[in-house]
Chain A
Amino acid sequence: MEINFTHHQSAHCENGVVSNLMKHNGFDISEPMVFGIGSGLLYCYLPFLKVNHAPAITYRAMPGAIFKRFAKRVGVKIQHEKFKNPAKAKARLDENLENNNPVGLQVGVYNLVYFPDEYRFHFNAHNLVVYGKEGDNYLISDPVMETVTTLTDKELEKVRFAKGALAPKGHIYYPKAFPEKLDLEKAIVKGIKHTCKDMLAPVPIVGVKGIKMVARLIRKWPKKHGVRKANHYLGQIVRMQEEIGTGGGGFRYIFAAFLQESSKILKNEKLAELSEEMTVIGDLWRDFALDASRIYRNRKAKLDAYNDVASQLETIAEKERTFFKALRKAV
């Protein structure tokens, strides 16, 4: 059995699943629109969490938050369910497929067999759509992949019941009720206001202040931990910023695309200008990644090099502070 579902590749899995499910239900919503309305853009340094034995920095909102906010702001009702029992989780999935309803699933990446080995690590907040079943094979639309794929019964159960931080517990979700017309204008303004609030938050580890804090840490790392560890940490920052999913520049380009689209919907010229500014800031993030990579490429880096990339981050932080203040006024 196969549901007539169109797969569109996206940069990030969560936006992609939402955008694809909305399109399936007849609402043409782009990935940047989902990301912007769901206030996906964030910067947060998580001092108590280690990922791959290095400090964790996130460039986006908590997994699940984008979908939740998006749905609330445009007035779509979502059905969510988590399970203790894998058999029940499978039954609920099959039931939905029987009813011609493609569903979103939260899964762990480590056992996702169609990913290249190098990308398989213990990250449990990946999202994909199941749109049918043929014998023992589930038909999978993973938004970050170019084409659709399949997973066997066993393989799907394993990723749905991955363990560790943010364990998916078979999490299944799908939109169940839609308004007649989506009220995008109001939703966009809400999304933008929320992002500005987050990025300008008076909390030392969040937003612009968080970027500055990480810049200060980078200056200290080589002396405190030695060059090898400092390079490992720096490499991790670049991966979080640029690895599959961010669309480049730590989500700045997706956000700029959202502002451009919004300027047409809201007929607000200022947003188009700000979109261009965000693109320039995105380019600065790319430059930072490039220069950071020059440090960890040759393992003996000079101390100056760390100070240089730290200064780059501080410049970005200042530009973003001005940017988000202007954006707040523009809507």
Chain B
Amino acid sequence: MKKHDVPQDKSNLESTKSKELCYAVNEKGEYTTAHSSGWEPKTIALDNAIAEVNARIENARQNVINNKTSPLEYYMEVHKMDIPILASYVGMWQWRVKRHFKPRVFAKLSNKILQKYADVFEITITELKEIKHGD
């Protein structure tokens, strides 16, 4: 990549006024570093990935409303986690976490267990039992 070809497209980096460093070749053929504000192919990939996360959250929200899963799964998706990551944060086996996704099992959980989940998601137990239906 030539130094003057280093892309300066719009990207999500703009919000932090930060630029990333790329390596490119100058006119004399020597390697040097150059700042890039972003590159469209990356931005689209990132935007798509975020859309994918949002679709997963919405899907989980609908499942909670239809009593197909517990709010734990919804909050897991909100925090961009999957079951192995959530299990590691609460210090439980994956199968236990998965079991807590069953609304019937979730309803009977002790406050001690609920508190573990609430701590990870940084919310109260009351909030953990509800999902925000509005937004």
Contacts and interface: CB of A to CB of B under 8 A. Distances in A.
- Binding between chains A and B: yes
Interface centre among B18, B19, B45 (most CB of A within 10 A): B45
B1 interface: yes
Interface string A190-225: 000000000000000000000000000000000000
Interface residues of A, number: 53
B110 interface: no
A271 interface: no
Given A236-B49, A253-B24, A122 B19 contact: no
Contacts, number: 118
Interface string B48-92: 111011001000000000000000000000011110110011000
B18 A292 contact: no
Given A10-B21, A165-B85, 11 more contacts: A120-B80, A144-B20, A164-B85, A231-B48, A235-B45, A236-B49, A238-B41, A238-B42, A239-B49, A242-B42, A293-B44
Interface of A: 9-11, 32, 50, 52-53, 110, 114-116, 118-122, 144-146, 163-165, 167, 231-232, 235-236, 238-239, 242-244, 247-249, 253-254, 256-257, 260-261, 275-276, 279, 282-283, 286, 289-290, 292-293, 296-297
24 contacts: A11-B20, A32-B23, A52-B80, A110-B80, A114-B16, A116-B13, A116-B18, A119-B12, A120-B80, A144-B20, A146-B18, A163-B85, A163-B88, A164-B81, A164-B84, A239-B46, A242-B41, A248-B36, A249-B1, A253-B23, A256-B23, A279-B1, A293-B41, A293-B44
